[in-house]
Amino acid sequence: MPGDRLLVPVANPETADRLLDTAVDIAADRDPEILVLTVVTVPMQLSLEQARREFDIDEREALVDDAVERVRGYGTSATGRIRFGRSVAGGICGVASAEGVETILLGWHGRPRRRDIVLGSHIDDVLADAPCDVLVKRIDRDRLAVSSVLVPVAGGPNTEFAAETAGAIARAHGARIELVTVVPDREEATVAEARDLLNRTTPALGAVESVEQTVLEGAVVETIVDRSAAHDVTVVGAAEGGHLRRALVGDVSEAIAREAEGAVLMTKRKQGVSDALWRRIRNRLR
């Protein structure tokens, strides 16, 4: 919808382009404004006003300016912001709320998980607190040409969001899409239910040139990771419901996002994690 805003926080010029290319793909489909943001963290002993006066932010300004110029080079509307705040996640969520952002696109390096961290401290907090939808892109490798996109299907709003995102990427590149769901057995009723799920998900893709629906049998993570080797991009929805750690993205979705071949995007609709549940998550993981 015209007038939407897609917020893209950037911090590292070596990986910003990988994130911005995906933002442009999505923008080409919905025509939003891309809002490029970098957050300058300020220690508690300094006031934000003092930091604005005294901090040297020339490199940050150059990073934002270069990012905005890159996006505009594709014919996409873009503006830049520098935010001073106490935390990266707080700065991102604050800008998203103040600017009426519809979606945040975060970059993730896919590093091994720590006991007290799911995807990353900043990413975890944004997933919990964002006032809007969130996309997380694994940016640990250079982008290749996009000719095919894999969408694991499990049902729910996050899967629908994954399909919408995959459709936008496919349209930007003229790529084909494979929707895949994994079943524990080939019983007739099981397969029929799986095919019904694929049929119900397909409309969320929108108009794409080629869509294949596949029902596979096996262990979910291993089967999808194996399938991802035949595709350039995998777009996976965060898991629904659950408790504690699973309230953020879900163990299965997280494992697929870490291990899949090629580029990976994880999608999470704004549904909210209550303050009480988020405190339980933090206390349990620490």
Question: Same domain, yes or no, for 236 and 266?
Answer: yes
Within a domain: 269: yes
Per-residue pLDDT of the chain (286 residues; tens, 9 = 90+): 334 899 999 988 888 999 999 999 998 877 779 999 999 988 888 888 888 888 888 999 999 999 999 999 999 999 999 999 889 999 999 999 999 999 999 998 875 555 444 445 688 889 888 999 999 999 887 777 899 999 999 888 899 999 999 999 999 999 999 999 999 999 999 999 999 999 999 999 999 989 999 999 999 999 999 999 999 999 999 875 443 333 444 578 888 988 999 999 999 998 654 444 444 444 444 4
Which of 138, 157, 175 is a domain's end point?
Answer: 138
DSSP 200-211: HHGGGG-S-S-E
Question: Same domain, yes or no, for 44 and 69?
Answer: yes
Token pair 């909210």 is found at 272
Question: Same domain, yes or no, for 133 and 177?
Answer: no
Within a domain: 131: yes
Picking from 254, 246, 255, 253, the residue whose alpha carbon sits closest to that of residue 281 is 246
Question: Same domain, yes or no, for 227 and 130?
Answer: no
Question: Same domain, yes or no, for 157 and 36?
Answer: no
Residue 116 tokens read as 């007290």
Within a domain: 201: yes
Whole-model pTM? 0.86
**Partner residues linked to 103 by β-bridges:** 6, 133
Give CA 243 to chain center in angstroms.
Answer: 21
Residues 80/68, Cβ–Cβ less than 8 Å: yes
Within a domain: 230: yes
Question: Same domain, yes or no, for 111 and 175?
Answer: no
225, amino acid identity: V
Question: Same domain, yes or no, for 92 and 194?
Answer: no
Within a domain: 179: yes
Residues 6 or more apart in contact with residue 196 via CB below 8 angstroms: none
Residue 102 tokens read as 């519809």
Q: Domain containing 267: what range?
A: 148-285
Residues 6 or more apart in contact with residue 63 via CB below 8 angstroms: 10, 11, 13, 16, 38
Question: Helix H segments across 174-247?
Answer: 188-201, 220-228
Give CA 92 to chain center in angstroms.
Answer: 14
**Which CATH number does the domain housing residue 14 bear?**
3.40.50.620
> What DSSP element (H or E) covers 63?
helix 58-73
